[in-house]
Structure 1
């Protein structure tokens, strides 16, 4: 305790440049995060692999402040089933479960009732927020069919977990993309970028170039249609900060967290404009010590953030070969830090650290950015941002989140039919036919009255991907 306090005192007095070989640059991490005009209730989170499991844990524990969750190659809440301390099983049991059923299936070992029952118990005990909040979150799920590390059974289980709380009324809050031939990776639209992988790779830096802008799809599914990303030099900047301020009373090492975290701040946010915060969690072996700053700089979030008043927080883990044992710099989704089931609750050590960072950036008293009074005017800029073989992700320009929107769809017969209402400015359509053209319209619903329709948006569903028995070597469907 005294060491932690002393370290933070020293950090507050001086700023010593830290040289990271992988980056080739120096960064000063002695300072903490500053607060911006960012309403905490407009925050969101996403992650890949272990970061995806942590995003589910954090978004469920703190569902009162998390607007949406992006899950890339991850599974459901409490997947490893690490429970209260048992000297005989606490270590090997959760690891076997995490690296077994949670990564390889089969589906019969991933019963959604187990995970919802645990979440229900934790909510009843007050250890996580009421689960009614999960029912209004926007959820994006992804698994590439060349993923040789996490089986589709895991992401299917995550989808089932969320569908349980979304129910029929909010089913359109979820969009699940599983038709791309990506490997175990975060997927970017770049092609031929040095240091990044081809589309079906399952190796570091676990960023695959598939011509698919995953960061943009995640952010727009959560927040509605955004301005196009900045294709040029960014006006904002990446700043480093001292994570020990937010792991107190522990040093970061005790939580297998890095000394330094990163945050991208657009220039407008720096100058006082209202903004929102998105937390982006790297996966195993994607920390700065392993791949440099590639996830921070090249995942694609910053380009979207720069033009849309979004602050991107990049917390960092680190390798811990001894205690706690975390040799691949994963986020804690099998209780390697606390050895208790608190790791999936508000009191979990890493969840507490991330929340402390979010609290430092966001403002509980700030008004939502861009909120407008609801009206019956037609929604603007309806766009199909993504399709799978059986679904489509629709977004439109955001208005007041209290406004209800009615979505209509026309299939091959050309007749529009109402398919559902949604709160917020995105809609995950489902139950569609592969390789089929559809059209959509959106209208505002206010006090029982339905306003004029938006312009039509057209999309074509993808073909169903071929069976992939050897992930990592399967042909990528066009």
Structure 2
């Protein structure tokens, strides 16, 4: 088989969700700068975009508040460096990427190996200090009907993060595994033309499961938000010229599209403080192949419109020759320049995304006031405590951030009705794990200011989901009620 055809066949195994774009200006321009602090930024992705989200969030952990991982595996999973891969040669990284990194088994995904590689990159200064990962909010997802990326991959990603979170920060991670979605980004819409049923593993890789994945990701990272806009959006979807952010390379040289897209809420345009979330599509999801489905239907824009989020949608493009990337995947096996810099700050695609983020956040205003801790030694009770999501063994709690709080104490009560402290977190969400399936629990949260505890929130009650029955044929497993 011709080398290019062989690679197309192998890369074709990597699938992800669809992305698209609404009608836009014909002539894309540069990104505008907004009043958006770069340290309030976050990133999420599906499949190859999930691998890239982990790479970007790890390389630039000093500025990324949280990472959403939908059907992705651990940092540097493909271990890609073609020139030094003497055992398996040129094809080694892509065989690993489309083999063990997507399918497992778990025994082939040695977490110690991945963390050692990350530690070495951090020690060399090629990525930010990994101590930053302990403060990031991490959302992971695996649908049990996913026939493309098996559960071993996101399991390994969860273990990678738990290594750096440690026991003390475990509440920063929430992992959803009990929804019957196929390989897809999951949305609430039902019977929307061009989208799939919940268990599907096909184009456009957006499955209608009655589950608002975009909103759950954003609230896990930032705490409880205002309700999404269910009507016509006031914000604007804009195109921009990606070549301005790939220099000295052309977008073609990096397998990136000529245009990228950004959704900007009206208040952000008018100078209000805003935050940036980077949403990364997966393979076969670029706008030329799919059209408007990801940008229009993933759900980020409706939340952004009422919560002052700018959503950045960078775009890849298919490339059949050099670099060979016929399915428009993000580079998570070093197809651009065949070195191991693809997981670092100097990786060509990571540099391009960072340049886009720099452009959007370049207009941050100087703060006009700060908390005077000597005069204000009290915090109020957290408001709006609610269950953002639940699995069979975890519940994700979110609440509105409390001004001045340094941390939050989370307490849980089980059947014995006695509250016990289960953890402390710096941000306004907590993934409580290790719970019994189909069991109701109560929680309350109190804000802390430099060790002094404020009053507790009102209680919230939530019930864990049932555990799915074993199914060895993903894509045909029964989809139970979502109910959330």
Q: Using structure 1 for the length normalisation, give the TM-score.
A: 0.93
Pair 1:35-2:33 in alignment:
yes
How far off its partner does 1:284 sit? 0.6
For residue 383 of structure 2, give the secondary structure of its aligned residue in structure 1: coil
1:195 aligns with 2:194: yes
| Residue 445 of structure 1 pairs with residue 448 of structure 2 | yes
Q: Report the CA distance shift for 1:28/1:90 in structure 2 as closer, same or farther (over 3 A).
A: farther
Distance 1:23 1:115, change over 3 A: closer
- Give the superposition deviation at 1:76: 0.4
Residues 238-257 of structure 1 show CA distances to partners (whole Å, capped at 9, x for unaligned) of 10000000001111010000
Partner of 1:380: 383
Q: 1:44 to 1:219 in 2, by over 3 A?
A: same
Equivalent of residue 44 in structure 1, options 25, 32, 42: 42
Within 2, Cα distance between the matches of 1:339 and 1:284?
19
RMSD: 1.7
State the partner residue of 1:339. Answer: 338
Displacement of 1:298 in angstroms is 0.8
Secondary structure at the aligned position of 1:82 is classed as: coil
How many angstroms does 1:84 deviate by? 5.9
Question: Offset of 1:401 from its aligned partner?
Answer: 7.6
Aligned residue among 459, 462, 470 for 1:456: 459
d(CA) in 2 for partners of 1:425 and 1:464?
27
Q: Any unmatched runs of 5+ in structure 2?
A: 1-19
TM-fit CA distance, 1:142:
0.1
Q: Within 5 Å, give how 1:56-205 maps onto structure 2.
A: 56-83=54-81, 85-86=83-84, 89=88, 91-205=90-204
1:397 aligns with 2:400: yes
Match of 1:306 in 2: 305
Secondary structure of residue in 2 paired with 1:334? coil
Q: How many Å separate the matches in 1 of 2:22 and 2:135? A: 43
Query: CA–CA distance in 1 between the matches of 2:290 and 2:475?
Result: 21
Pairs aligned (count): 457
Q: Residues 173-195 of structure 1: CA distance to partner in whole angstroms, max 9, x if unpaired?
A: 00000000000000001111111
Q: Please report the TM-score for the alignment, with normalisation by the length of structure 2.
A: 0.92
Structure 1 157/446 Cα, relative in aligned 2: closer, same or farther at 3 Å? Answer: same
Per-residue displacement from partner, 1:349-404 (whole Å, max 9, x unpaired)?
Answer: 00000000000001385468998677321011101010000000000002348611
| Distance (whole Å) between structure 2 residues aligned to residue 195 and residue 70 of structure 1 | 24
Give secondary structure in 2 for the equivalent of 1:320.
coil
1:225 maps to what in 2?
Answer: 224
CA distance in 1, matches of 2:57, 2:22: 34
